[in-house]
Amino acid sequence: MRGAVAHYVEEIHRAYIAQAMTFPAAVRGQMPLLAPGPLTVAAVGARNLHVLATRDSLGPVRAPEVRRELLTAVGGRTQWQPSAPEVTP
């Protein structure tokens, strides 16, 4: 399930980049998810799936949460590096 959600998030980001490339550079410069630096995505599901992307830190990961790090985002293609969960007592 985690892999499926990671793929879903990847495709959302790919679509966001593809759409952004249709805008002038001045507009793209105002799009926060295209800014350099870390991008944090939280995919939370209880009854429904909620996806939040932000440039802000959401704090440390606690079990049963997992963390996957984006290695590259070139030409709309992404690669994810799975990380071990950081368990905070």
Q: Express each pLDDT in 10-55 by its tens digit.
A: 888 888 888 999 999 999 988 888 887 777 788 887 788 888 888 8
- The closest of 64, 68, 69, 70 to 45, measured between CA atoms, is 64
Report the predicted TM-score, pTM, of the whole model to 2 decimal places. Answer: 0.62
- Per-residue pLDDT tens for 69-89? 665 555 555 555 555 444 444
Residue whose token pair is 């790919």 = 14
Omega within 30 of 0 (cis) for the link into 64: yes
Dist. CA 88–CA 37, nearest whole Å? 25
Q: Which DSSP state fits 36?
A: S
